[in-house]
Amino acid sequence: MRYGEVKGTQLFRQRQVCKKTLKEVFEEFILSVKIKGRSKYTLKSYYYHNKYFMEFIGEDTLISTITQKTFEDYILYMQEEKGLINGITLNSYLRNVSPTIKYAVKKGYLKDFEMPQVKYQETFKEIYTPEELAELLAKPKKSDFINIRTWGMIWTFASTGLRATELRELRVKNVDMLNRTITVNITKNKKARYLPISNSLSQVLLEYLEIRNGEAEGYLFPTVYGDILAQSSLQKCIKNYCNERGIEKCSLHLFRHTFITNAVNQNVSPLILQKITGHSTMKELNRYYNAKTIDMVNVIDFIAPTLTGKKSIFKPKK
């Protein structure tokens, strides 16, 4: 071929625009995560948060038209129209829609873009104080099943750092009093683990199990009909129990924060604590530690510079 002679031209195909709707892609995504074995609670969260996004943009919207600007408008919509101004909650809504978008990008339905996040001022999470825990852990005067069950659940939360979902799924057979362990088979990261039972918790559970009087396959903390306790019912009975004792804090997850913080303050090995709590990484474990509660005043004198002389550093006025 002579210099300058063109043998042929290469034809480039124009990128096809995806005609799939947001609803269609979401259904595809849900099927893919079901195949991967995501828990029913994770799926429920995806359905819940994507429902709000679809209400905003329309479920028949073409997936290819969604951009970063779409989510910026969605944030404003949630803040101004829905009154959702809490940054943590807003980011939770975005985080549970994000996997659908990432799936669409991976499939080539959508061009990649950076998901916006809401910046917010981080504050300390107020954990249960020793006085509040003492009040909640005291045996209730009412000895009916609901009160004794709630008392047993609070003792279990406070003594193990269990997640609410993990506690609800526990069976009677998971409690081994002989070896003082609780086997947790239903977990967030799908990794089963053993929890140690303290002497005090073992006494509480033995007393509760006498009243519970259930079969080994039954739920450890069931409804009065023996069914699994709903998340809302669990939250409600803990709230009522706390409020009856004059304690406004009633967050289920706060027991986990309190357990981890108290363990760190007692110099428990981070590796052991990670095994007990079931956190995948130290970074996740660190998020649950409330550093404000440690006696930092006693520590600071070993770190900060000290004044060696006895003379005042301030000169008197002439």
Give residue 267's pLDDT band: very low, low, confident or very high (50, 70, 90): confident
Give residue 217's pLDDT band: very low, low, confident or very high (50, 70, 90): very high
Q: Are both 144 and 224 inside the same structural domain?
A: yes
Which has the higher per-residue pLDDT, 231 or 11?
A: 231
Structure tokens, 51: 């429902």
**Overall domain count for the chain:** 2
For range 4-10, the mean pLDDT: 51
Q: What's the pLDDT score for residue 315?
A: 59
Domain that holds residue 136: 130-293
User: Alpha carbon of 318 to those of 32, 238, 277, 297, 312: distances in Å?
Assistant: 81, 66, 63, 36, 15
Residues ≥6 apart with Cβ < 8 Å to 267: none
Structure tokens, 181: 């362990």
Give the least confident one: 140-149, 255-264, 281-290.
281-290
Q: Are both 142 and 42 inside the same structural domain?
A: no
Flag whether 315 is in a domain: no
Residues ≥6 apart with Cβ < 8 Å to 92: 49
Which has the higher per-residue pLDDT, 314 or 236?
A: 236
Segment 55-84, tens digit of pLDDT: 999 999 999 999 999 999 999 999 998 888
Percent of the chain with pLDDT over 70: 83
The residue whose two tokens read 């031209």 is: 9
- Give me the phi and psi of 190, to 5 degrees please: 65, 20
- Asked whether the predicted pLDDT for residue 17 surpasses 90, the reply is no
Please report, for the domain that includes residue 284, its CATH number. Answer: 1.10.443.10
Say if strands 181-184 and 193-196 run parallel, antiparallel, or are unpaired: antiparallel
Flag whether 300 is in a domain: no
Q: Whole-model pTM above 0.85?
A: no
- Asked whether the predicted pLDDT for residue 295 surpasses 60, the reply is no
The residue whose two tokens read 């909650």 is: 89
Cα–Cα dist 239/257, whole Å:
17
Judge whether 270 and 282 are in contact, CB under 8 Å. yes
Flag whether 317 is in a domain: no
Q: What's the pLDDT score for residue 41?
A: 85
For range 108-121, the mean pLDDT: 91
Q: Are both 176 and 276 inside the same structural domain?
A: yes
Q: Are both 64 and 210 inside the same structural domain?
A: no
Q: What's the pLDDT score for residue 288?
A: 59
Give residue 303's pLDDT band: very low, low, confident or very high (50, 70, 90): low
Segment 162-187, tens digit of pLDDT: 999 999 999 999 999 999 999 999 88
Residues ≥6 apart with Cβ < 8 Å to 189: 278, 280
Q: Are both 157 and 257 inside the same structural domain?
A: yes
Cα–Cα dist 253/158, whole Å:
10
Segment 84-110, tens digit of pLDDT: 888 889 999 999 999 999 999 999 999
Q: Are both 95 and 144 inside the same structural domain?
A: no
Minimal CA–CA distance to 104: which of 75, 61, 52? 61
- Asked whether the predicted pLDDT for residue 136 surpasses 90, the reply is yes
Q: How many CB atoms lie within 10 A of CB 49?
A: 19
Flag whether 149 is in a domain: yes
Q: Are both 95 and 221 inside the same structural domain?
A: no
Q: Are both 100 and 160 inside the same structural domain?
A: no
Q: What is the mean pLDDT of the chain?
A: 86
Flag whether 302 is in a domain: no
Burial call 114-132: b when 16+ CB within 10 Å, e when fewer: eeeebeeeeeebbbbeeeb
Flag whether 305 is in a domain: no
The residue whose two tokens read 């034809």 is: 11
For range 240-251, the mean pLDDT: 93
